[in-house]
Amino acid sequence: MKVVDISIAIVKNEQSNYLIALRANDSHQGGKWEFPGGKVEVNEQPAEAMCRELFEEVGLVATQYNLLETLFFDYGDKQLNLHFYQIEEFTGQAVAKESQPIKWVSKGELALYDFPDANKGVIAKL
């Protein structure tokens, strides 16, 4: 089974709320909430993929960020290398460019949303 590299943007705004989006029902782990992100393309670095995906999905440009954690996760049907980036500063206004529901939630509210299992350790660290 091929391992897929995924880069994820954990965006926190000035009110200390985090940006989350609802995965499409027909996607892997569909119907669950996630932080914006996606696959790392060929000849692309994980940080580049995170910046590209963040802009493509919600129209934000990450101007300052750091790698929070990289972890391997095996869902059984899919194996992933996940690169979680904490976005310290960004420009733009979050807009659902792929028609997905998005919202800003507090750190405490994150526990109320159903995230893929691979995200739960990182959420606990926040």
DSSP annotation of 27 reads S
User: Which residue range forms the structural domain that includes residue 27?
Assistant: 3-101
Output the pLDDT for position 43: 95
| DSSP H/E element including 17 | strand 17-22
Output the pLDDT for position 27: 82
- pLDDT band at 86; cut points 50, 70, 90: very high
Looking at the 3D structure of the chain, how many domains does it have? 1
For residue 102 the two structure tokens come to: 């998005």
Residue 95 is assigned to a structural domain of this protein: yes
Please, what is the average pLDDT of the chain?
Answer: 94
pLDDT in tens, 30-53: 789 999 999 999 999 999 999 999
| pLDDT, average across residues 87-114 | 95
Burial of 57 (0-12, 13-18, 19+ CB in 10 A): buried
- Total-model pTM: 0.93
Report yes or no: 21 and 104 within 8 Å, Cβ to Cβ: no
In this predicted structure, the answer to whether residue 7 has a pLDDT above a threshold of 90 is: yes
Residue 111 is assigned to a structural domain of this protein: no
Output the pLDDT for position 29: 81
| DSSP H/E element including 48 | helix 46-58
Phi, psi of 66 (to 5 degrees): -145, 155
The domain that contains 59 carries what CATH number?
3.90.79.10
